[in-house]
């Protein structure tokens, strides 16, 4: 079991470009969370997805940000027209089921730098 | 929605002493409380968790206590070592038909040799 895989590990984008962050959950996990971590700060919830469904996107900015978790392939967090304030570490976590208390495993994160 | 408050934000203790980090949560429906440790530049990793049907859980030098009535839970680290230096996050799980983990703000623990 390779664990939660995120890529790229580091991403540099110019202002106005698009950023695509990928997350492959652990084998057997059908639930993915995305969190944003600013330098020296905590983990801010963004979105919670199940395969082909967005369960909770209450932490996601209304504009420029979107997330998906298709039936096949990784979960994608997409940031359009990036701005300097988007620079942060983006972590995804996965868990195997819903309706039960199960631990979430984190990926290594993608460090986005907007220049 | 759920809100988790964590204190202190920074904590410095002498090697060998104990460290205590406290969290409170707002949603009485929460019944799963994990603690994560994040070393510099690395991913958060689960170190211990507790479910609402127990009041205390211990794993070697680490223990967690839960007071559901007061809606607070604490992490205790005894005989601290330099490798315990990290940022620690508490979290609470909301049961509202979905499994969302809400994190506290984090505590930066420094162990002084």
Note down pLDDT in tens along chain B; length 113 residues: 788 999 999 999 999 999 999 999 998 888 889 999 999 989 999 999 998 878 999 999 999 999 999 999 999 999 999 999 999 999 998 654 566 788 999 999 999 99
CA separation for the pair B84, A22 (Å, rounded):
31
Are A82 and A91 in contact by the 8 Å Cβ rule? The answer is no
pLDDT, residue B101, reads 83
Are A75 and A23 in contact by the 8 Å Cβ rule? The answer is yes
Residues of chain B contacting residue A56, judged by C-beta atoms under 8 Å apart: 98, 100
**B42 has a chain A CB within 8 A of its CB:** yes
Give CA separation, A77 vs A52, A89, A90, B12, B49, in Å.
14, 12, 9, 36, 28
CA separation for the pair B14, A2 (Å, rounded):
37
Smallest Cβ–Cβ distance between B102 and the set A45, A100, A101 belongs to A45
Is there a contact between B101 and A41 if contact means CB atoms under 8 Å apart? no
**B9 has a chain A CB within 8 A of its CB:** no
**Count of other CB atoms within 10 angstroms of residue A94:** 25
CA separation for the pair A49, A47 (Å, rounded):
7
């Amino acid at each position: 079991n390779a664990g939660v895989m995120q890529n790229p590990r580091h991403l540099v984008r110019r202002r106005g470009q698009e950023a695509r962050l990928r997350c492959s959950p652990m084998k057997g996990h059908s639930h993915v969370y995305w969190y944003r971590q600013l330098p020296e700060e905590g983990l801010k919830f963004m979105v919670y997805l199940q395969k082909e469904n967005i369960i909770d996107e209450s932490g996601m900015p209304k504009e420029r940000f979107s997330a998906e978790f298709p039936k096949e392939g990784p979960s994608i967090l997409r940031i359009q027209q990036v701005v300097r304030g988007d620079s942060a570490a983006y972590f995804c976590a996965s868990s195997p089921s819903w309706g039960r208390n199960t631990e979430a495993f984190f990926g290594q994160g993608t460090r986005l730098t907007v220049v | 929605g759920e809100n988790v408050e964590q204190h202190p934000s920074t904590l410095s203790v002498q090697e060998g002493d104990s460290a205590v980090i406290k969290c409170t949560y707002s949603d009485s429906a929460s019944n799963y409380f994990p603690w994560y440790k994040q070393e510099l530049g690395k991913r958060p990793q689960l170190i211990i968790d507790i479910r609402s049907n127990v009041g205390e859980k211990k794993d070697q030098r680490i223990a967690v206590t839960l007071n559901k009535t007061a809606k607070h839970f604490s992490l205790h680290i005894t005989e601290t070592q330099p490798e315990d230096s990290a940022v620690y996050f508490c979290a609470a799980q909301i049961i509202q038909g979905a499994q969302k983990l809400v994190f506290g703000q984090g505590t930066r623990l420094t162990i002084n040799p």
